[in-house]
Amino acid sequence: MTLPDSSSPDLRTHVNSPLARVARTVLGARQVAMVLGRTVHLSGASRAEFLADAEWVAHEQVHIRQFREHGVLPFLWKYLLESARVGYFNNRFEVEAREEARRLTGGGRRN
Ligand SMILES: [Zn+2]
């Protein structure tokens, strides 16, 4: 039997990330997590705060999978194109992350 491991020791995080800080400023958000490759870059949230939110973790893990499936640079390019076309909220990679995180955790809070 496998239980969800909320401490996620294999999940790489980078706290106080300057890149996440830029995104946080642009988005006007209190807390930001952004995945680059296999690392979750955090700004405004500690690793513990991030890991305590199962739906948030699930959402970012979908992005880690997307990076793995598409390749880092192709995914960044596709993600930016998609955002330019339809915006952040309707970006198909965000829709997928949002829906899968909700399905896995039964939540419904995160964008
Ligand atoms: Zn996302």
Return all residues near 42 (Cβ < 8 A) that are at least 6 apart: 13, 14, 15, 16, 17, 20, 31, 32, 33, 50
Break the chain down into helix, strand, coil percent, rounded to 5. Answer: 60, 10, 30
State the distance from the centre of ligand 1 to the C-alpha of 35, rounded, in angstroms. 8
pLDDT of amino acid 10: 83
Predicted local confidence at residue 106, as pLDDT: 85
Query: Domain locations in the chain?
Result: 12-105
Distance 49 CA to ligand 1 centre (A): 17
Distance 60 CA to ligand 1 centre (A): 6
Note the pLDDT of residue 33: 97
pLDDT at 19: 95
3 alpha carbon – ligand 1 mean position (Å) = 24
Q: How far is the CA of 59 from the centre of ligand 1 (A)?
A: 6
Q: What is the pTM of this model?
A: 0.87
Q: What is the pLDDT of residue 70?
A: 98
Residues in the chain with pLDDT values less than 50: 2
Distance 52 CA to ligand 1 centre (A): 17
